[in-house]
Structure 1
Amino acid sequence: MEIQLLAIHWVYLIFIFLIIGVMVMRKDTTLVSILGILAISMLVTKSLPSSILSLFNSLIFAIKELLGTILIISLIVAMGKVLTHSGINELMVRPITRMIKSPLIAYWVIGIAMMIISWFFWPSPAVALIGAVFLPVAVRVGLPPLAVAMAINLFGHGIALSGDFVIQGAPTITAGAAGIPVGDVVSASVPLVMVMGIVTTVVAFYFLRRDLKNGTISVTSNQLAKIQTQEVKINSLDKRRYKLILAFLIPVLFLLDVIGMFVLNLTGGDATALVGGTAILILILTSLLHHKKNRMDKITEYLVEGFQFGFKVFGPVIPIAAFFYLGDSGVLTILGKDALPQGSNGIVNDLGVALASIVPLTKHIAAVTLAIVGSITGLDGSGFSGISLAGSVAKLFGSALHLDIATLTALGQIAGIWVGGGTLIPWALIPAAAITGVDPFELARRNLIPVTIGLIVTTIFAMFLL
């Protein structure tokens, strides 16, 4: 049955373009998203009080959808705080530094360590840990701080965050906007993340090796002198028995979580709950052992710090997510069953079907469009605030061309996070640049060619999967 497009469809489409325009101008999307929700609510309810009510309910709907993700990230960060204060985090990774014997080995060891830690702790807390422990060792064997920052960015903010296989924050946002299960996006992203990660890091390694040989980048005497002070601090770590035990036990617990996910076939919210429960138990145990006074108060303090971080990250995400949830099942929950015409499959689905009937679309156009849209969502430098748009556009093209929505969603997610999550946008590079003492603009310039080549290859690869 042919679906007739109503004013609600056209208004929704107009606000999609407005949101894209705001992103291109590198402005925040909150105001436009809220105005979009109000406009759609007014069209359906024809009542200002009801529209205001719907605006609040749409934000509540988005928070409910994202609450598990906000909670897990908050708990992981809270756990990271106590591990940092106790010094256990440095004890956990210090044995890996013994593998670093040359600058080229240092690049891969630092990168892989950053990737693994970022899967479980997220890149933001991992940056300080990896930088503090690995930077002195890397510089001593001849790897410049700029190259250390590149490894941290590409493996942590790139590979780990774009897949987000364990915490599943990114796929939860994009899957919600696309109206598909989180597990589908995670599964679809695996080959794309692998291709993107391998191509980008290998290209970066090629340029790094070339520049080390010809002396374009090198370790300076000032950098060598600076790291000696840092090494003294690391070598004097408190190594009390309980810390050594926890430094061994914590990675084992998370490894058991991963095994449990496969054995018990846990995905989505269940997998997240397993990791979150483990994190809060580690937080409690470490706090009780490390703090001699006010132990119970310290547990609360760490939790508060974690929640502050979680809502700081997701504060900009909630309004735009609320808008894009209206494009799918959220519209019926928020505005009622009469919000759409009979036979409608949702605003975005209807637009996709209409688009297919008037424009000669192909899977190649769809893949390129998702890569571009994903990249645009990353222009604000957060990597997260706009990726709901990628999920919504993926559903639009998937519905129009009967393509795999999960693959399109994963492609948009990867593009958005690689561009905005901390590899290309200079202000998103500040944490890694600060911990290694390099210029964020120079770091962005060094990352530009490898990431661009990676995105092109990954987009072409995605075309074969659609």
Structure 2
Amino acid sequence: MGVELLALHWVYLLFILLIIGVMVMRRDTSLVCIIGIFVISVMTTGSLGKSVGSVFNSFIFAITELLSTILVICIIVAMSRVLTDSGINEVMIRPVARLIRSPGLAYWVIGILMMVISWFFWPSPGVALIGAVLLPVALRMGLPALGIAMAMNLFGHGIALSGDFVIQGAPTITSKAAGIPVGDVISASVPLVFVMGVVTTIVAFWFLRKDMKSGALTVDQNQLAELGNQQREAAGGYVKLMAVLVPILFLLDVIAMIMLDLKGGDATALLGGTAIFILILSTLLHYKENRLEKITQYMIQGFEFGFKVFGPVIPIAAFFYLGDSGFKEILGDYLPKESHGIVNDLGVALANSVPLSPAIGAVTLTTVGAITGLDGSGFSGVSLAGSIAKLFGTAIDASIATLTALGQIAAIWVGGGTLVPWALIPAAAICGVDPFELARRNLIPVVIGLLVTTLFAMFLI
């Protein structure tokens, strides 16, 4: 039996429902989360002054928990800007262009390359890294620009970002909200990401080939001619050197992670440190003047991107940390001794009052994840998915890690840039297609993928 539920538990549950409702209406949840933290604090401490301060302290706690994740993404984005400006990315990717010999190969080669690059560079920089280089090649082979955008989108912002196995930004957020190790979420997400990725990309390719054969979708010859007229400067010696060195360094990082069993913060630190040195070396080699200032400028660009992306995440993460590990750190030791955290207590109460099953848990997590993605961020709601996964996992005595991974996948596939435009727009812009048409094309494959993945997850829970 769990601890007796207090008014505090019911108010927390009420704010969870309010947050979901606000997300359904596609409105920002920051205000609701801040009010929720304040109300919980007033009820707990009975002090207005402490409650006002607890809002700030909850933000500090959330930022501290997520700082390594935010920082590594900032650094990697800064590094990718240098690689793009210097032309190193083009030389790195050029050999792959030789593999593209048909429209079908163009779809799969671009998609798989986008997935691999997104694991190390994140999807948004990945679009810039490969889009401009491989777009004209794929168009010449007969793959329409919309098909290229779909491949980049589904493999990068879908498969790579929903698993995020290397940088571990998404699983770090969800695991902390669920109160389990990040490695557990990553391990549980591997089969789910695989099923979701295979189903979605194959269905999307089938629809794409069908429309190409019927003539409903063709290559824009004007776009192809315009791209063909663009002249590129020959790469310098240092560019070719760095084009070889960059993938080697990241490959060594992966080998080190495996051999030294580096996970979580240690793996993030290794990637971040490598990216910093690549950023510095690339900048020093590329620029003849103001080299020191350029390094700082690129880092500022990276920080602007990172905090812009994670700005909406901080308030909602702070609220959901309050439901578990952050309560004692933020407010103090106010819960009963037998309590295991607000969310755990609610999960036990749910198990004792409502008949639940793995099937209901899986459907609930997919639905909650998809709803959290409706705000167009993908990351702002994954804390909610982790928290709900812990609640249901406790209630049905099921795998919290699998439920967490399922909610994370649904949230990021919907909000991370395959259906709701946040990261969908860059891919559409690079390929010169309508972002709304791209979202429409992605809709049926992604929905089918989520349905199949949810059914598959029921057998793992």
If the length of structure 2 is used for normalisation, what is the TM-score? 0.99
1:322 is matched with which residue? 318
Alpha-carbon distance between aligned partners in 2 of 1:429 and 1:333, rounded to the nearest angstrom: 38
Q: Indicate yes or no: 2:373 matched with 1:356.
A: no
Between 327-336 and 236-245, report the one with greater CA deviation: 236-245
The gaps in structure 2 that reach 5 residues or longer are: none
Alpha-carbon distance between aligned partners in 2 of 1:403 and 1:425, rounded to the nearest angstrom: 31
Alpha-carbon distance between aligned partners in 2 of 1:12 and 1:74, rounded to the nearest angstrom: 33
Alpha-carbon distance between aligned partners in 2 of 1:50 and 1:218, rounded to the nearest angstrom: 63
Matches for 1:303-318 after TM superposition, within 5 Å? 303-318=299-314
State the one-letter code of the partner of 2:251. Answer: L
Contact 1:87/1:238 (8 A) holds in 2: no
2:69 is matched with which residue? 69
State the one-letter code of the partner of 1:301. Answer: Q
Alpha-carbon distance between aligned partners in 1 of 2:78 and 2:153, rounded to the nearest angstrom: 22
Matches for 1:290-309 after TM superposition, within 5 Å? 290-309=286-305
Alpha-carbon distance between aligned partners in 2 of 1:319 and 1:426, rounded to the nearest angstrom: 22
Shift of residue 387, structure 1, vs aligned partner? 1.0
State the one-letter code of the partner of 1:237. Answer: E
Contact 1:87/1:237 (8 A) holds in 2: no
Q: Indicate yes or no: 2:260 matched with 1:264.
A: yes
1:85 is matched with which residue? 85
Alpha-carbon distance between aligned partners in 2 of 1:309 and 1:425, rounded to the nearest angstrom: 19
1:47 is matched with which residue? 47
Alpha-carbon distance between aligned partners in 2 of 1:178 and 1:324, rounded to the nearest angstrom: 9
Q: Indicate yes or no: 2:402 matched with 1:422.
A: no
Contact 2:76/2:272 (8 A) holds in 1: yes
1:173 is matched with which residue? 173
Alpha-carbon distance between aligned partners in 2 of 1:59 and 1:163, rounded to the nearest angstrom: 26
For residues 34-88 of structure 1, give each alpha carbon's deviation from its aligned partner in whole angstroms, at most 9, with x where no partner exists: 0000000000111110101111111100000000001100110111111111110
Alpha-carbon distance between aligned partners in 1 of 2:429 and 2:7, rounded to the nearest angstrom: 49
Alpha-carbon distance between aligned partners in 2 of 1:70 and 1:91, rounded to the nearest angstrom: 28
Alpha-carbon distance between aligned partners in 2 of 1:238 and 1:247, rounded to the nearest angstrom: 14
Alpha-carbon distance between aligned partners in 2 of 1:267 and 1:403, rounded to the nearest angstrom: 24
Alpha-carbon distance between aligned partners in 2 of 1:251 and 1:391, rounded to the nearest angstrom: 33
The gaps in structure 1 that reach 5 residues or longer are: none
For residues 287-309 of structure 1, give each alpha carbon's deviation from its aligned partner in whole angstroms, at most 9, with x where no partner exists: 11111111111111111111111
1:14 is matched with which residue? 14
Between 287-296 and 144-153, report the one with greater CA deviation: 287-296
Say how many residue pairs are matched. Answer: 461
> Helix, strand or coil: the match of 1:99?
coil
Contact 2:312/2:380 (8 A) holds in 1: yes
Contact 1:427/1:440 (8 A) holds in 2: no
Structure 1 residues 458 and 156: alpha-carbon distance in aligned structure 2, compared to 1, 3 A threshold: same
State the one-letter code of the partner of 2:294. Answer: K
Contact 1:200/1:453 (8 A) holds in 2: yes
Shift of residue 223, structure 1, vs aligned partner? 2.5
1:456 is matched with which residue? 451
Q: Indicate yes or no: 2:328 matched with 1:335.
A: no
Alpha-carbon distance between aligned partners in 1 of 2:423 and 2:84, rounded to the nearest angstrom: 22
Contact 1:383/1:417 (8 A) holds in 2: yes
State the one-letter code of the partner of 1:104. Answer: G
Contact 2:253/2:271 (8 A) holds in 1: yes
Alpha-carbon distance between aligned partners in 2 of 1:279 and 1:330, rounded to the nearest angstrom: 31
Once the two structures are aligned, what percentage of the paired residues are identical? 72
State the one-letter code of the partner of 1:158. Answer: G
Shift of residue 90, structure 1, vs aligned partner? 1.0
Alpha-carbon distance between aligned partners in 1 of 2:410 and 2:25, rounded to the nearest angstrom: 18
Shift of residue 2, structure 1, vs aligned partner? 3.8
2:277 is matched with which residue? 281
State the one-letter code of the partner of 2:285. Answer: L
Alpha-carbon distance between aligned partners in 2 of 1:106 and 1:341, rounded to the nearest angstrom: 60
Contact 1:159/1:193 (8 A) holds in 2: yes
Matches for 1:7-406 after TM superposition, within 5 Å? 7-229=7-229, 232-233=230-231, 236-337=232-333, 339-406=334-401
Q: Indicate yes or no: 2:438 matched with 1:447.
A: no
For residues 80-134 of structure 1, give each alpha carbon's deviation from its aligned partner in whole angstroms, at most 9, with x where no partner exists: 1111111101111111011111111100010011101111110111112222011
Q: Indicate yes or no: 2:402 matched with 1:407.
A: yes
For residues 208-247 of structure 1, give each alpha carbon's deviation from its aligned partner in whole angstroms, at most 9, with x where no partner exists: 1111111111113223222212xx33xx233111110100
Shift of residue 429, structure 1, vs aligned partner? 1.8
Shift of residue 428, structure 1, vs aligned partner? 4.4
Root-mean-square deviation (CA, aligned residues, Å) is 1.0
Alpha-carbon distance between aligned partners in 1 of 2:325 and 2:445, rounded to the nearest angstrom: 39
Alpha-carbon distance between aligned partners in 2 of 1:86 and 1:191, rounded to the nearest angstrom: 38
> Helix, strand or coil: the match of 2:380?
coil
1:431 is matched with which residue? 426
Between 288-297 and 108-117, report the one with greater CA deviation: 288-297
Alpha-carbon distance between aligned partners in 1 of 2:2 and 2:189, rounded to the nearest angstrom: 33
State the one-letter code of the partner of 2:432. Answer: G
Contact 1:199/1:454 (8 A) holds in 2: yes
Moved over 3 A (4+): none
State the one-letter code of the partner of 1:449. Answer: I
